[in-house]
Each structure stands twice: as C-alpha cells, then as structure tokens.
Structure 1
C-alpha cells in the first residue's frame, strides 16, 4: 500500500471514531432531561406530594396554615322558667322563716291555684307544718302514676276532697292573710324547698273520722292523720 493510501485510511478511521463518540454523548443528555410531574394535563398539587405540609384556604382563597381557630363563644345562660312556678325559696333555718322569705308570684298558674286552694280549704287554720303536709300529699300524688298527673287533676278527682262541690272550689278572699300564706306554702310544696314531717304520705283524713283504711299510718299533724 502506498504511503498516501495509508494516511488516507488512518484519517478515515479517526473520523469514524470521533463521529461515534459524539453521537453517544448526545444520547446521554437526552435521557437525563427533566420531565414535568403531571397526570395528563394537570400538575400534581404540592399538598399531595409526600411530606408536604397540610394547608387550607380561607374565604378569600388565600392559603393559610391549617391551624384550628378558636373563636370567641357567646355567653350561655340558662333560660328562665315562669316566675309563678319557679320562685324557689331561699334556704332558711326554719319553715316560718322560709314562708316569710318566699315571694308571692305576680301571677299564679292554674296548677298553683289548685295546690294553694287545697291547702287553704284543708288546713288554713292549722300550723305551717300541717299546711305543708297537705300540700306535699298533693305533690306526691301527682308524681305517683296512681293519680292524675297534675295538681288540678288530683284536687278535682271525684270523691277525694270534701270542699270540692260541683267540680268547683268555693270563692276565696285572695286578699286575706290565710290565702297569701297558702300561696307561699304552695310554692314551697311545689319546689320541695322544705320537706314535711310526713314526707311521702299519699293519703290523709280528718282526725274526727275513723275510716277502715288498710294503709300504713305515719303520724297525726294538727287535725289530720297521714298515711302511706
């Protein structure tokens, strides 16, 4: 082979080697080019990436840290009950003191009128303990399930109270001291602010009569004898 031919062959081999080398380098760069993280045309939200901090949006769509906000709470007060049936007397050291401190409701419901009326007609001439005992019997009956579930139902139940005539009470002098005391005693009996000496009694009768009752006698208070 001539010298010129050997030189030309060597140059051709060198050119081929250089071309191959540059082609390999270009393929590596293309394989390492970054590809956007997307699903279809939607980018994956940063909040869904592993380790991302939780975020939320306020009403203006501004991104704010997801911190539980403690808003000022309005003051909560218990609803007031009706004045005539919820005038709970203040604690007292005696029943007499309690009666003196008990306010007369501005208006009486029919229920309290019935309770006060029974106390008035049955025991207005008796001691405070006797009046309260009568009132608490009516309260106990209304809660027992064995009698009507209201004070008026108990008082007007047929053949129970002798002062009821024609399903009505006699007229009451509501300005009298006896009525005012009966109303106060009705409030005390209704609220249970003071227990009677025969608490839990369900029956009573006048001491002047002797019915053949097969009931447990509790005690006599003034002109009445009380039973369970």
Structure 2
C-alpha cells in the first residue's frame, strides 16, 4: 500500500521505554537480538553423586506457561469490517492535541478532501504520507504540507486552523487510520493528485480515480 511500511515511517511513532522482553515494540533502530525465554545455565552442585536418580520434573505453573506464551505473541493489528468502522474506532481529537504531525496530516485531509468520501480522504492522506517517505519530498508530514507551491490552502508556509467541527474530527480519524495503516488505500503508492475538473497534463501513470480526485505516481 505504501512506499515503505507505514509503521516504520512516521516521525511521530511512539517508542516504548523500558519495554518488557515479551512486549512488541516499534523501533526504527535495529537492536541486538535477546533471548526471549531468559534461560539460565544450571551449574553442577559440588559433591553431588553422578549416579543419583534424576529428580522428578516440576510441572510448570500456569503463570509461567502464560509468561512463556506471551513472549511469543504480539498484539494483532485490529481488523475492521469497513473503512467507516476503522475511522469510528480512532481516538478522540482531544487526546491527540500535542501530536503535531497528525494535526498537519489531518489539516491536509480537511482542506483538500473534507467533502470527499472516506476512501477519497484516505487516499489524500496516503499521498501526503507517501511523499514524506519517498526521498523526493521533505521528510516530515508538516514539511510536505508546507512545501512551497504544493498545497493551495497553505499561505506563507503556515497552515490555516480548521474549525473544530464534525468534518475536522473525521479528518483526524482518517489521518490516524492512514498513519496506522489500518485500511488499504485506493491510492496505493501515489505521490500526486488533482481535481477531476482540471487537466494539468502531468505525464504520469494514473493510479486511481477516487471521488473528485485523480491520483498519480
């Protein structure tokens, strides 16, 4: 769906400090592999008779079994029956006030596609995310949005403030779905889009037409 896996993309990805050995952490820097079972070497006891019968195995307690099983499991990616369900399941806007990159992404969705269907809003979000990881555009969402001459709603390199209404809350939810890669986007790896009523003659391969926008790579 994306140019690079979306989980490793984003500058706003939260790193888990002091993670347990059995926790699934999202880290952009490779770490040395560790023994997930925490096995310790058993040293022989001095003076122990070599012919002594082995002691009976001690059954593992339920908690120990659960801990061992947990070390091999990761939290599954939530599955949704529809894009609408995925959007509805996202966090409330108030809980994400300090996430600047998400706000920039949602601002792009709001001003470029707020009247589009959810699939069209997701496609616009994915173009912005694709640009930020392509190496051909600035490397952060906010920088992609404010890049000169790219988005007409940007004035003087500054983003306008969206009204706190239902359309803004939906744009924030769509931005979360896109960033978490929770739903397949019809835009795929597109890097460009424009409204259907204009013909800029980009000379690029068409990826999809969604709502009122045509997407290219």
TM-score range, shorter chain: 0.5 to 0.7
Matched, 1:93 2:76: no
Distance 2:151 2:205 in 1: 20
1:103 CA drift (Å): 2.2
Mapped partners of 1:218, 1:188: distance in 2: 20
Q: Contact 1:117/1:182 (CA < 8 Å) preserved in 2?
A: yes
CA separation of 1:64/1:188 partners in 2, compared to 1, >3 Å: closer, same or farther? Answer: farther
As a proportion of its length, which structure holds more helix? 1
Alpha-carbon distance between aligned partners in 2 of 1:206 and 1:112, rounded to the nearest angstrom: 24
Q: State the alpha-carbon separation in 2 of the partners of residues 160 and 193 from structure 1.
A: 26
1:97 Cα offset (Å): 1.6
Show the counterpart of 2:104. Answer: 114
Task: Identify the structure with bigger relative contact order (alpha carbons < 8 Å, sequence gap 6+).
Answer: 2
Question: Which is higher, the Rg of structure 1 or of structure 2?
Answer: 1
CA root-mean-square deviation: 3.0
Runs of 4+ deviating beyond 3 Å? 75-78
Q: Where does 1:17-166 land on structure 2 (aligned, <5 Å)? A: 90-104=78-92, 106-108=95-97, 109-166=99-156
List gaps (5 residues or longer) in structure 2.
Answer: 1-42, 49-63
- How many residue pairs align between the two structures? 156
Cα distance in 1 for partners of 2:187, 2:204 equals 14
Aligned counterpart, 1:208: 197
